[in-house]
Amino acid sequence: MWQRALDFALRPRLPKGYRPGVTLARLERELSGLDYLGEEDGQRRYALPGSHWSVLVSEVVDSQLLLHTVSCRFSLQLALAGPAQPCRLAFRHRGSWRRSGIACHLLRGDASELAALRQQLEQDADLHTALMPLDFKRCELLGDAAGWRVEIEPFAASEVVGRFPPFRRYIRLITTQKLAVLASMAALRRLLLAQDGPPLKQD
List residues bridging with 50 in a β-sheet. none
- Pick from 30, 141, 154, 23: nearest CA to 76: 141
The pTM score is 0.87
Q: Which amino acid is at 44?
A: R
State which H helix or E strand residue 152 sits in. strand 147-154
The whole-angstrom separation of Cα 50 and Cα 180 is 19
| pLDDT tens digits along 85-136 | 999 999 999 998 899 999 999 999 999 999 999 999 999 999 999 999 999 9
**8 A C-beta contact, residue 102 and residue 122:** yes
pLDDT of 202 higher than 50: no
CA dist 9 → 2, 3, 5, 50, 67 (Å): 10, 10, 6, 49, 20
Q: Supply the mean pLDDT for the chain.
A: 90
Do 69 and 161 form a contact (C-beta atoms < 8 A)? yes
203: pLDDT strictly greater than 50:
no
Q: Given its phi and psi angles, is residue 157 left (phi above 0), alpha (psi -120 to 50 degrees) or beta?
A: left
pLDDT band at residue 199 under the 50/70/90 scheme: very low
